[in-house]
């Protein structure tokens, strides 16, 4: 009866891994088969995630384990937090796959691209389902390996340079993370992630006891602090916390679907998701507060938010501006985690999904402008709303959400973050939030203004790529347009229907209830 529950986490990973491996072996011209494999994988994954969502909300436990290291095996586990991330990845994977098929039509080396694309999603999902730190580390490194070929896919000088920078940052981050994981393993072993943190329930001999860590030996405190710094440094690379964010703006030379995935789900989110795991499920809020570690993390996140926004304001290239905006927006999640209160945590977890939906929309739209009209820079956006109204509408929704205009998704998460800051008495964080919203408005509103109200150029360039377009959705290829509209509508719904039980916010509240349960 219960025999299938262990299979489900594995099946969710395999549903993209197997198509990925098959795609590698395909010939370049077997386009139909490749598309079939891609879409089947994405749909099967969505269905499986749906089953798991249903199961977890009814309290079923999904565990798959494999003896890999003594005291820290390979463990895949579906819990509420992992599902927040898995659902986001599987929905956006489907959308991005459709987008990428349209985007890369007739370009070379597509089998290689889609192969690594699927591996990348497998690694992301594995990371989300990881049930302990060792497994998390494993998928974290695999993610690096799978995304590198995507970043350098175009094979241009700039792409290769960006790829090198990306590798230097992420591999060094991975090595530091490994040190942190092993250090923690020597101190406390590698138990499963536990809501509330397994270190909080352990005394100085490493035994589980009911007493919270109040009378710890000084050396253990020291070790735990060092381990925390190592873990945050390792994760901070992918989460693009300053000063470890240098790779992200460079990596935007990748093809648009890759940027979309990198910024919205795969890499950046993997880092932040790791932070959530470490703070909540490894150390536990209690220990992090006891060790006085949340305050530095909070400052770091706040600094990153402001820094990212200021740098975004300087950029004249659309994708670069979006990239710096990611640096800023992702740190909202780190901020919510570091605030260490239930309301802030709810906001952070909701923002994990909201930011993904909004950012992916913006990158799709940027890709559409570039592919259809060759517009890469902000100056080129004048009047673009008249030529491509639907794309521009999606862009507007995403941008307004980022600024935090009610009732869009971004507003919900910021509202909860603000309430959370007040709840724990860190009132200054409100100033950061307001400042960041103003900065966001300063770099997004001009784009919206240019797009709708500025005078268009006398003549748009001839669309050579798709001469015969669909009459109704005629502004660009439908495979580029639909995903953008789809995610834009989702981000609108996530805000409008935040009160429903199935919204990201509600799911975030469920996680927080479990994390902060006494």
Partner 1 sequence: MNPALLSLLTPLATAILMLLCRSRAAVWTIAASLLSLVAAIAALYQVTTDGSQLIHLGGWESPLAIRFRVTALSALLLAFTALIHLLVGLYAARSRHSQTRNTDYWPLSCFLHASLASLWLSTDLFNWYVILELLGLTAVALVSLAGTKAHRAAFNYLLLSLAASLCYLLGVALLYGRYGVLDSLLLADMLEADHTTRTALLVITLGLMLKAALWPLHLWLPPAHAGAPTAVSALLSALVVKGPLFVLWMLWSQVAPVELGRQAGPAMAAAGVAALVSAGWSACRTPHIKTLVAYSTVAQLGYALLALGMLLRWGVRELHVALWLFVFAHGLAKASMFLAAGEMQSTLGSKKVSALRGATQTVPVAMFAFAVAGGSLIGLPPSGGFLAKWVLLQPLLLEPSHWPWALGVLLGTLASAAYVFRVIALSFDRAPPPRPDYNPDPVAQWLTLLPALLVWGMALGGETLILWMSGVAY
In the shown chain, the binding pattern of residues 10 to 49 toward partner 1, with x for contact by CB under 8 A and - for none, equals ----------------------------------------
Q: Does 233 bind partner 1 (CB under 8 A)?
A: no
Find the helix or strand (DSSP H, E) in which 124 lies.
helix 110-129
Q: How far is the CB of 69 from partner 1 (least distance, A)?
A: 6
Comparison of 125 and 360: residue with beta carbon closer to partner 1: 125
- The least CB distance from residue 147 to partner 1, in Å, is 12
- Identify which of 78, 77, 60, 51 has the alpha carbon closest to the alpha carbon of residue 1: 60
Report the C-alpha gap between 182 and 201 in whole angstroms: 20
Structure tokens at 277: 């795991």
Q: How far apart, in whole angstroms, are the C-alpha atoms of residue 51 and residue 351?
A: 24
Cα angle for residues 395, 401, 404 (degrees, 5° grid): 145
Stretch that binds partner 1, among 218-226, 332-340, 431-439, 463-471 (CB under 8 A): 218-226
Smallest distance from partner 1 to CB 141, Å: 5
3-state secondary structure of 426: coil
Give the tokens for residue 176. Answer: 């530091």
- Least gap, CB of 102 to partner 1 (angstroms): 23
Least Å distance, CB 467 to partner 1, is: 28
Please, which residue, 193 or 415, has the CB nearer to partner 1? 193
**Looking at beta carbons only, is 181 or 264 nearer to partner 1?**
181
The number of helix segments (H) and strand segments (E) in the chain equals 20, 2
Q: Which of residues 287-326 bind partner 1 (CB under 8 A)?
A: none
Note whether 416 and 344 are within 8 A (CB): yes
Q: Is 141 in the site for partner 1 (CB under 8 A)?
A: yes
Residue 303 exposed, middle or buried by CB count within 10 Å (0-12, 13-18, 19+) = middle
Q: Does 249 bind partner 1 (CB under 8 A)?
A: no
**Cα gap 381→452, rounded to integer Å:** 9
To partner 1, the closest distance from the beta carbon of 352 in angstroms equals 25
Smaller CB distance to partner 1: residue 42 or 152? 152
* Distance from C-alpha of 244 to C-alpha of 252, rounded to nearest angstrom: 16
Closest CA to 121 of 12, 273, 22, 266: 266
From first CA to last CA, the distance across the chain in angstroms is 32
CB of 395 to partner 1, least distance (A): 31
Q: How far is the CB of 91 from partner 1 (least distance, A)?
A: 28
Binding string, residues 151-190; x marks residues near partner 1 by CB under 8 A: -xx-x----x--xx--x---xx-xxx-xx--xx-xx----
Residue 161: name the closest of 62, 38, 252, 40 by CA.
252
C-alpha radius of gyration, the chain, whole number: 22
List Cα–Cα distances, 211 to 155, 200, 265, in angstroms. Answer: 57, 9, 38
Extract the tokens encoding 432. Answer: 């950061």
174/197 with CB nearer partner 1: 174
Q: Judged by CB, which is closer to partner 1: 226, or 422?
A: 226
- Shortest Cβ 80–partner 1 spacing (Å): 26
Task: Please state whether the peptide bond connecting residue 517 to the residue before it is cis, i.e. omega within 30 degrees of 0.
Answer: no
The verdict on 461 binding partner 1 (CB under 8 A) reads: no
Applying CB under 8 A, does 69 fall inside the site for partner 1?
Answer: yes
Of 257 and 404, CB closest to partner 1 = 257
Provide the mask over 108-127, with x wherever binding to partner 1 is found by CB under 8 A and - wherever it is not: -x--x---------------
The least distance separating partner 1 from the CB of residue 264, rounded to whole angstroms, comes to: 23
Chain positions contacting partner 1, by CB under 8 A: 66-70, 73-74, 109, 112, 134, 137-138, 141-142, 145, 148-149, 152-153, 155, 160, 163-164, 167, 171-172, 174-176, 178-179, 182-183, 185-186, 219, 222-223
């Amino acid at each position: 009866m219960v025999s299938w529950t262990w299979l489900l986490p594995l099946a969710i990973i395999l549903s993209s891994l197997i198509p990925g491996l098959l795609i590698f072996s395909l010939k370049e011209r077997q386009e139909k088969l490749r598309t079939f494999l891609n879409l089947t994988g994405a749909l099967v994954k969505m269905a499986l995630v749906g089953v798991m969502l249903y199961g977890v909300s009814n309290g079923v436990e999904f565990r798959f384990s494999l003896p890999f290291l003594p005291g820290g095996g390979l463990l895949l586990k579906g819990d509420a937090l992992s599902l927040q991330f898995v659902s986001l990845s599987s929905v956006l994977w489907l959308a991005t796959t459709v987008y990428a098929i349209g985007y890369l039509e007739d370009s070379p080396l597509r089998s290689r691209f889609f192969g690594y694309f699927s591996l990348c999603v497998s690694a992301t999902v594995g990371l989300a389902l990881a049930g302990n730190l060792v497994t998390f580390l494993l998928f974290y490194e695999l993610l690096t390996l799978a995304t590198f070929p995507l970043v350098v896919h175009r094979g241009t000088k700039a792409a290769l340079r960006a790829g090198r920078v990306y590798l230097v940052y992420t591999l060094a981050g991975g090595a530091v993370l490994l040190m942190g994981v092993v250090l923690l393993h020597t101190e406390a072993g590698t138990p499963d992630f536990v809501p509330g943190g397994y270190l909080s329930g352990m005394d100085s001999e490493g035994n589980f006891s009911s007493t919270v860590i109040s009378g710890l030996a000084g050396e253990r405190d020291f070790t735990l602090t060092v381990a925390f710094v190592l873990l945050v440094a390792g994760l901070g690379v992918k989460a693009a916390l300053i000063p470890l964010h240098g790779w992200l703006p460079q990596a935007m030379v990748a093809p648009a679907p890759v940027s979309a995935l990198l910024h919205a789900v795969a890499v950046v989110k993997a880092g932040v998701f790791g932070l959530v795991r470490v703070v909540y499920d490894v150390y536990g809020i209690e220990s992090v507060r006891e060790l006085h570690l949340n305050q530095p993390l909070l400052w770091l996140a706040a600094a990153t938010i402001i820094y990212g926004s200021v740098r975004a304001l300087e950029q004249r290239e659309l994708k670069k501006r979006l990239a710096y905006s990611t640096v800023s927006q992702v740190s909202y999640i780190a901020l919510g985690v570091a605030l260490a209160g239930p309301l802030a945590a709810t906001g952070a977890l909701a923002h994990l999904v909201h930011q993904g939906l909004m950012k992916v929309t913006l990158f799709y739209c940027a890709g559409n402008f570039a592919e259809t009209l060759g517009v890469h820079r902000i100056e080129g956006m004048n009047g673009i709303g008249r030529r491509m109204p639907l794309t521009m509408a999606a862009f507007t929704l995403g941008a307004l959400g980022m600024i935090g205009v009610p009732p869009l998704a971004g507003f919900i998460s910021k509202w909860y973050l603000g309430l959370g800051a007040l709840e724990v008495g860190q009132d200054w964080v409100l100033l950061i939030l307001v400042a960041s919203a103003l900065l966001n408005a300063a770099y997004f509103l001009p784009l919206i203004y240019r797009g709708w109200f500025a005078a268009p150029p006398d003549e748009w360039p001839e669309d050579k790529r798709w001469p015969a377009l669909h009459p109704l959705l005629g502004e660009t290829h439908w495979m580029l347009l639909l995903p953008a509209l789809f995610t834009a509508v989702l981000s609108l719904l996530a805000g409008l229907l935040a009160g429903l039980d199935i919204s990201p916010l509600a799911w975030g509240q469920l996680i927080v209830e479990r994390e902060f349960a006494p």
